[in-house]
Structure 1
Amino acid sequence: MAATLAHDGAAAPARTLRPMTIALVLVLGGIMVSLDTTVVNVAINHLSETFDASLATIQWIATGYSLALGAMVPTAAWAVGRFGAKRLYLAAVAAFALGSVLAGLAWDVPSMIAFRVVQGLAGGLVMPAGMTILIRAAKPEELGKLMGTNGLAILVGPLAGPALGGWLIDQVSWRWMFFINLPVGLAILLLAGRLFPADAPAARRALDVPGLLLLSPGLAALIYGVTRFGDGAGGATPLAWIAAGLALAAAFTVRARFAAHPLIDLRLFRTRSFSAATATLTVFSAGYFGTMILAPLYFQLVRGESATVAGLLAMPGAFASGVAMQIVGRLVDRIGAGRIVPVSIAVAASGFVLLAVQLTADASYWGLAAATMLIGAGGGATIMPSMTAATKGVSHDQAPAASTTVNLITTTMSAVGTASASALLSARLPDGGIQAVHRLAGTAREAAAPTLAHAFQLTYLLPLSLVAAAVVPALLIHSKSPKTSKNSKESS
């Protein structure tokens, strides 16, 4: 097993700093990364109108960011061993802040997508490096509580992001959605540089460059093929891209089984808890995160609301998600993820059903808020317990590989889900797509509202199906997480 680890032979660092202090600092980094995701979600409609771009094109501002996150995550275990978790975290935060400034200076859609990719490449290292620092600092019995605290970022980012982004769009400029990351990044660098423990000596290993060249282009080809359907491309072209992406992903899997130092250590999947938890995250993340751009678009396109109002209407779901995350973060250590996650998925699925049923042109905002709160509560109570179940039983040396895999799954499936939802919605919009809707005004916009609302209703059937399907692997998650020593033996 030693050959597959990013921190081979490294001794566990002394716990000279309280793990809760580390978790609170990491929350800031998580807020910065998640804030940039949610801020952009509410801006998709405005940016599409500003740059006169189709939904299938403009969604790459969100999808390109998520895809870049996923592309870098597999290198995290190698990078932690090569540079150290603390140094890697600081460098990634600095690069993210720089990418944010560049995105704010973008002059067209291609330049913005390019700078968003820069952000994503840096952000893809922030989360796994931070999680590695936290796992190494925490005792196994307190990991659930610390993961819940670290999950505050998933509360604050989605809660503040849409409202803040909407206000900046309507009152200042869309460019400040990105510029705001600069002071946040500087604060993180100051705190983490002073408070995080120094990196312990670690053995280095080679980066699996062939594996990286198979996985990242494979994911990009797969998602590009999906978005080509949204642009109305017919024939064999989208299918060819999808087939190429699947072929590259399959080749990566075969190589990972035999490579000395694979990007993803497939032997982690030999344990039932890790396999079940990651399978749950795979299906659930595609449905849950893939819909984040849909609700703001519904409020702006169908109901004619401003970006600020659309952002404020996203807050109930985000608040419910954060509260649920904090509650289950304290329960998972006592009763186990296996008893929590299936129930949480059922709650999220019921919220999607309620939302899809009432998503008409004149639906009550109170009813929509109740549905989104169910979705948010179910999501918050599913993601973090699943991540805890996947990482709780791993040894100290396995921490980089485990956190890498978990973050890769959530970020990649978020991109797949976003692209799929955008493609389905684009295919159901009137001729001319979102650009044609922008040209409607007055009574014409009101007359088109029922048709637009129906398009959103049909699109929501995809995330509903994915979320409901996630209950199958969730039933296989252990009610009680295996002990570290036992899990380490099973993974060797």
Structure 2
Amino acid sequence: MSRLSSPSPRTEPAPIDPAVWRILGVVLLGAVAVLFDTTIVSVALRTLTVSLHTSVATVQWVSTGYLLAMGVTIPIAAWAQRVLGGRRLWILALSIFLAGSVLSSVSWNITSLIAFRVVQGIGGGIIVPLTSTLIIQAAGGRQLGRIMSVAGLPAVLGPILGPVIGGFILEHLHWSWMFWINVPFCVAGIALALRYLPADPPISRHRIDGIGFVLMAPAFVGLLYGLSNVSKAGGFSRTDVVFPLVLGGILLAAFVGWALHRRGRALIDLTLLRHWPLTSSSILLFLSGASLYGAMLLLPLFFQELRGQSVLMTGMLLIPQGIGTLISRSTAGRLFDTMGARWLAVAGFLLAAAGTVPFAYADAHTSVLWLMGVLLLRGIGLGVATVPVMAIGFQGLRNEQIPDASIITRIAQQIGGSFGTAVLAMVLLDTRTSATTQSVTPGFHAAFWWATALTLLGMLLSLALPSSPPPAAADSAPHPQRGTALSPESVDNNEVDVAAESRVNVVGERP
């Protein structure tokens, strides 16, 4: 485990290289399509059921198929980047997502739509972790707080603006426009990537860790699939919940043992978890995912079922939460670079909890203005909490370690979000079939108390985060665009270069 050096007197942070901002903008433009697509489609399932003349159980696979396809491809993103290079892989993944979007928009029945959503998921599964990787590598480990405060905006705004955009399309346009709106983002993202992303040669020629993939991909898919079925009648006692979760857990344990044996040659280098900032970040991302995405299940249902709002109006009522996140993230990024992660994350989770508790008392007659003010506070808390939790995971890692760290943190957040959604959906399960508003209210109150508890648990665990400010980057730190690639002569065709696999050094600290 890395040891943080004694903090030195802090100076005013140097300006971030314009080239880094340019790369960040190019990458985020492409990522917007993926991050907004998920939430836009989630509000359209009822419309698709009617338009495509299918059942609710079948149409759920429009989301489930996409989610599982992402689960298969996320674990291979680090290996693919080493073999293809980040620029090539980014363009390839965005092209796959573009093709899936166009095909989804011209789907002629539910079967074709599910199949084309799987194509989208394959591209999205690479894009999501690669977004963080390319941005952090471009920054060279410098001023991670400011960088992550901007890099995480699409992921935060997706659940907020997605329902608004989706609601507008469903009320005024054909459902296929949910996919057509991805096209300009993908096309512009590919064009700008060809122009501005630096060409980076492959850094490895090693074959994929086949055994690791056979263990990890089904494990991830099993966990996600099992958790996605919890909201159905029977909850955690269902066969399609218990069996996938148990099988996924067994395969995950087997992968951990295999990866620790393979070390730097594994599909995902789990030895990086000896680095406490990454481990603590992953744990808290699990909890923040549960709190954020779990509550994003509750809040739309609260406004629609308890207060009778339309899909579009519900999306608009959730906007204050997005505004709160926006106005707090830049400040949180600067504070992280000067004061560290611990107390910033504690304050953020506490504010988010304070913005969740009022919903545990709200009913159909509670003032809308009051609820919107509470959502603004909750958004501020989420913005303050997520920036240090995301940034601390990459502190002290070298560029070649960033891809594996991105996958670890992404898997933690993905499973956390699925877990939170499953738990809160189970709490609501018995009340969803009630016919009256009064019978639904207690279920929402209980679910929001659970969401508050998850948020407060995140606050308590934040006390274990490093308290020192991030070390200043050394002048000798690798420039984001300087070659880290290995020459063909230096790489064996079957093995990755693992000469430095056992060193995890704080940025600015010499090995």
Q: What's the TM-score, normalizing by structure 1?
A: 0.85
User: CA 1:219–1:390 in 2, change beyond 3 Å: closer, same or farther?
Assistant: same
Cα displacement (A) at 1:213: 2.2
Q: Which residue of 2 aligns with 1:84?
A: 85
Q: Which residue of 1 aligns with 2:173?
A: 172
Q: Which residue of 1 aligns with 2:44?
A: 43
Q: Which of these residues, 452, 458, 480, is aligned with residue 470 of structure 1? A: 458
User: CA 1:424–1:312 in 2, change beyond 3 Å: closer, same or farther?
Assistant: same
Please tell me the residue identity of whatever aligns with 2:388: P
Alignment partners' CA distance in 2, 1:247 and 1:182? 40
Q: Which residue of 2 aligns with 1:290?
A: 294
| SS of 2:165 mapped into structure 1 | helix
Q: Which residue of 1 aligns with 2:470?
A: 481
Does 1:392 find its partner at 2:381? no
User: CA 1:103–1:368 in 2, change beyond 3 Å: closer, same or farther?
Assistant: farther
Q: Which of these residues, 307, 311, 318, is aligned with residue 311 of structure 2? A: 307
Q: Which residue of 2 aligns with 1:443?
A: none
Please tell me the residue identity of whatever aligns with 1:354: P
Cα displacement (A) at 1:150: 1.9
Q: Which residue of 1 aligns with 2:255?
A: 252
The 8 Å contact of residues 300 and 315 in structure 2, kept in 1 or not, is answered as yes
Please tell me the residue identity of whatever aligns with 1:262: A
The 8 Å contact of residues 43 and 311 in structure 2, kept in 1 or not, is answered as yes
Cα displacement (A) at 1:159: 4.4
The 8 Å contact of residues 146 and 333 in structure 2, kept in 1 or not, is answered as yes
Q: Which structure's relative contact order is higher, taking Cα pairs within 8 Å and 6+ residues apart?
A: 1
Task: Write the mapping of 1:318-337 to structure 2, written as runs, cut at 5 A.
Answer: 318-337=322-341
Cα displacement (A) at 1:167: 0.6
The 8 Å contact of residues 63 and 418 in structure 1, kept in 2 or not, is answered as no
Which deviates further from its counterpart, 134-143 or 278-287?
Answer: 134-143
Could you give the per-residue CA deviations for residues 362-413 of structure 1, whole angstroms, max 9, x where no partner exists?
3322222122222222222222221110002101221211122222222332
Alignment partners' CA distance in 2, 1:379 and 1:394? 25
Alignment partners' CA distance in 1, 2:244 and 2:108? 29
Does 1:349 find its partner at 2:381? no
Q: Which residue of 1 aligns with 2:489?
A: none
What is the count of residue pairs matched by the alignment? 462
Alignment partners' CA distance in 1, 2:181 and 2:281? 35
The 8 Å contact of residues 277 and 395 in structure 2, kept in 1 or not, is answered as no
The 8 Å contact of residues 102 and 183 in structure 2, kept in 1 or not, is answered as yes
Q: Which residue of 2 aligns with 1:440?
A: none
Q: Which of these residues, 394, 404, 409, is aligned with residue 406 of structure 1? A: 409
Alignment partners' CA distance in 1, 2:135 and 2:226? 37
Q: Which residue of 2 aligns with 1:99?
A: 100
The 8 Å contact of residues 77 and 403 in structure 2, kept in 1 or not, is answered as yes
Cα displacement (A) at 1:117: 3.0
Q: Which residue of 2 aligns with 1:6?
A: none
Cα displacement (A) at 1:89: 0.6
Cα displacement (A) at 1:182: 0.8
Q: Which residue of 2 aligns with 1:378?
A: 381
Please tell me the residue identity of whatever aligns with 2:440: L
Alignment partners' CA distance in 2, 1:325 and 1:71? 31
Cα displacement (A) at 1:191: 1.0
Q: Which runs of 5+ in 1 are unaligned?
A: 2-14, 432-446
Which deviates further from its counterpart, 311-320 or 407-416?
Answer: 407-416
User: CA 1:457–1:107 in 2, change beyond 3 Å: closer, same or farther?
Assistant: farther
Cα displacement (A) at 1:331: 1.8
Q: Which runs of 5+ in 2 are unaligned?
A: 2-15, 478-502
Please tell me the residue identity of whatever aligns with 2:446: L
Could you give the per-residue CA deviations for residues 117-172 of structure 1, whole angstroms, max 9, x where no partner exists?
32222112113223222222214333322222222323553443222111101111
Cα displacement (A) at 1:63: 4.8
Does 1:450 find its partner at 2:438? yes
User: CA 1:222–1:399 in 2, change beyond 3 Å: closer, same or farther?
Assistant: closer
Q: Which residue of 2 aligns with 1:243?
A: 246
Alignment partners' CA distance in 2, 1:411 and 1:23? 22
Alignment partners' CA distance in 1, 2:391 and 2:323? 21
Q: Which of these residues, 365, 369, 376, is aligned with residue 366 of structure 1? A: 369
RMSD value over aligned CA atoms? Answer: 2.9
User: CA 1:355–1:448 in 2, change beyond 3 Å: closer, same or farther?
Assistant: same
The 8 Å contact of residues 352 and 464 in structure 1, kept in 2 or not, is answered as yes
Please tell me the residue identity of whatever aligns with 1:92: A
The 8 Å contact of residues 170 and 306 in structure 1, kept in 2 or not, is answered as no
The 8 Å contact of residues 159 and 319 in structure 1, kept in 2 or not, is answered as no
Q: Which residue of 1 aligns with 2:231?
A: 230
Does 1:460 find its partner at 2:448? yes
User: CA 1:71–1:457 in 2, change beyond 3 Å: closer, same or farther?
Assistant: farther
| SS of 1:210 mapped into structure 2 | helix
Cα displacement (A) at 1:296: 2.2
The 8 Å contact of residues 229 and 427 in structure 1, kept in 2 or not, is answered as no
Alignment partners' CA distance in 2, 1:99 and 1:160? 22
User: CA 1:488–1:229 in 2, change beyond 3 Å: closer, same or farther?
Assistant: closer
Q: Which residue of 1 aligns with 2:203?
A: 202
User: CA 1:327–1:164 in 2, change beyond 3 Å: closer, same or farther?
Assistant: same
Please tell me the residue identity of whatever aligns with 2:105: G
Task: Write the mapping of 1:22-41 to structure 2, written as runs, cut at 5 A.
Answer: 22-41=23-42
The 8 Å contact of residues 304 and 311 in structure 2, kept in 1 or not, is answered as yes
User: CA 1:239–1:119 in 2, change beyond 3 Å: closer, same or farther?
Assistant: same
Alignment partners' CA distance in 2, 1:380 and 1:262? 34
Alignment partners' CA distance in 2, 1:111 and 1:478? 49
Please tell me the residue identity of whatever aligns with 1:347: L
Please tell me the residue identity of whatever aligns with 1:284: S
Cα displacement (A) at 1:482: 5.2
The 8 Å contact of residues 281 and 409 in structure 2, kept in 1 or not, is answered as no
| SS of 1:145 mapped into structure 2 | helix
| SS of 2:166 mapped into structure 1 | helix
User: CA 1:489–1:25 in 2, change beyond 3 Å: closer, same or farther?
Assistant: closer
Which deviates further from its counterpart, 371-380 or 382-391?
Answer: 371-380
Does 1:160 find its partner at 2:148? no
User: CA 1:114–1:129 in 2, change beyond 3 Å: closer, same or farther?
Assistant: same
Cα displacement (A) at 1:309: 0.9
